[in-house]
Amino acid sequence: MCGICGFIDYKAQSDVAILTNMVSTLHHRGPDDKGCDIYSTNCASIGLGHSRLSILDLSSAGHQPMNYRDLSIVLNGEIYNFKELRSELRNLGHVFNSESDTEVVLHAFSEWGTSCISKFIGMFVFVMLNIKTQEVTFVRDRAGVKPLFYYWHNGLFLFASELKAFHQHPGFIKKLSLNAVHQYMDFGYVPSPYCIFENCCKLNPGHFLTFSINKKEFEITKYWDIKDYYCLPSLSISYNEAKLEVEKLLHSAFEYRMVSDVPVGVFLSGGYDSTAVISILQSHKTNKLKTFTIGFDEGNNEAPFAKQIAQYIGTDHTEYYCKTKEAQEIIPTLPYYYDEPFADSSAIPTALVSKLARKSVTVALSADAGDEIFAGYDNYRTFLNNLALIDKVPAFLHKTISKIASLWTNLLPDNFLNHKFSVLSSILSIDKKQIPQALLRSYQIMNKTTKRNLFNFIETDQQTVFDDDFSHFKDSLSIALATDYSSYLQNDILTKVDRATMSVSLEGREPFLDHRLIEFAAQLPNSFKYGHTQKMILKDIVYKYVPKQLMDRPKTGFSIPVYSWLKDDLYYLLEENLNSTVIAKTGLFNPIHVQKLKRNFMNGQLYDPTIIWKLLQFQMWYNMWIK
């Protein structure tokens, strides 16, 4: 796990000092070693920078940038099956000088080109310079575990694991993307491929970008898409056969994530996903695995459940009850580590459990994606029930009801009922085939009336995953699962975990994101996942290792009472960041309406309190990076 950055500069104004400064901003991602190399062509200079967290081959042989023949690479992430690939390459005549996975990627690219990506099991972003062909290839893993930003403007191409590296380059123009601000206020994050700055993007997961230095242009290619697997017919397989295969895939995925030359631990919440990881792993180990849990005296506290699970399984368990002040002290640091405005408040406990784990290990397994793969979220039931209700409305009444709902939207005040009428109006005005993804989008976006009152500018339509073609999908639940996997999981959950773990130089690994698992699960009959209970097949596997009575309890989230804090101890943050003077200076939001939202929030009358947290996080980010 590392941080990477660099440039392709056609004005030859970038030097080692600039590259060194860019790399230094990524020190938290890789404090063990730094590397900066400059390569020159007849038309541009290319810089490759690397900040290393040593995980595999701790010696200097793992230093990056790494070179082989005409190729040079910087890599962030891990290729878990690198030993098998190294053996295959040795049989083809390749000779290796290290025990690192980076060298394997270098040789694999030399042997197979971009088709080598299909052989990789792992999480990765790598940049490969071919000085002979004058091409630079940028590759991002299938699920988007590892981040990659790029900027292209005025003869300068920048890339980095985190946006903060761009601020160290004098050629970077930090012009705010107004459309990105709109999307952030909808989702609580800026969805890929968009970015909070103009001329800046995120490389989408499952894609690679090929930059031609001579032509001064690039082409983006998709090499993997989860939607392709949800469009396939369901497997003709019995439930017991499926359960055996899922367990086999889980075991393989979990074991691969234990490959390391440094200590490894597991985040344990006590839920089904993290319990699956630790119970399956521990059942095949004689030594006690290390597990970590953060507890709170307020909010949703899962620590007692995690402790029971750890005691039953027999792990080396560490729990720490966090004081309110410790959690609150994380909040001012969020804009620095997240680079873009980011409004998932569970980033706070994630940062705290990362800090706890880092005292004992350098790698920690996190159990994210179980809900997206095995249909665990409660809103899937709400989604299917709402679709069933909509389906009962006769088609010839759709336009009439849509117009009536639109009228009520204009008459009602800005509240939850207004939002429901707005959603109903838009849903019944579109083609029936587009209703599932439109309904899914409505669960996340801000009410139109709220937007109209809040913003000082109009949004230009930009395509998101909700606008993709789902016409070939076999059912609505598959649309929901594929959409969450491509949007919420990537842009929220994985971003949250990557930045939180890397803030303390901890490598976070996501075993549920093994592509072999999701490819198989996507083709399972829905009844295996969403049967008499949600996540049915995963739960039945867990019951093989842990008694049902230890697990069978209501689902809770990983959250803290941040809204209560904002009304009490942290009210000063609202006063500092959301007062009329500060809001007016940005020119983005209506100061009068922001004050109204703040008053309604304090009085308990704001129907969607997440708006306040989104505004607060945006303003704190703005003050740090733009002001």
Catalytic residue annotation: 2
Residue 584, class by beta-carbon neighbours within 10 Å (0-12 exposed, 13-18 middle, 19+ buried)?
Answer: middle
Query: Residue 574: what residue type?
Result: L
Radius of gyration of the chain (CA): 25
Contact 625, 167 (CB under 8 A): yes
Burial per residue of 440-455, b for 16 or more beta-carbon CB atoms within 10 angstroms, e otherwise: bbbebbbbbbbbebbb
Pairing of strands 264-267, 363-365: parallel
CA distances from 580 to 151, 238, 446, 590, 612 (A): 33, 62, 22, 9, 14
Contact 54, 48 (CB under 8 A): no
Residue 625 and residue 619: Cα distance in Å, rounded?
10
Residues 6+ apart with CB under 8 A from 212: 134, 135, 218, 219
Pairing of strands 156-160, 2-9: antiparallel
Indicate the length of the chain as a whole number. Answer: 627
- Phi and psi at 572, nearest 5°, equal -60, -30
CB atoms closer than 10 angstroms to residue 392:
6
Residue 80 and residue 59: Cα distance in Å, rounded?
19
Residues 6+ apart with CB under 8 A from 23: 3, 5, 34, 35, 36, 49, 50, 51, 165
Query: Residue 75: what residue type?
Result: L
Residue 278 and residue 204: Cα distance in Å, rounded?
31
Contact 16, 39 (CB under 8 A): no
Contact 427, 435 (CB under 8 A): yes
Contact 209, 138 (CB under 8 A): yes
Nearest to 343 by CA among 53, 89, 598, 609: 609
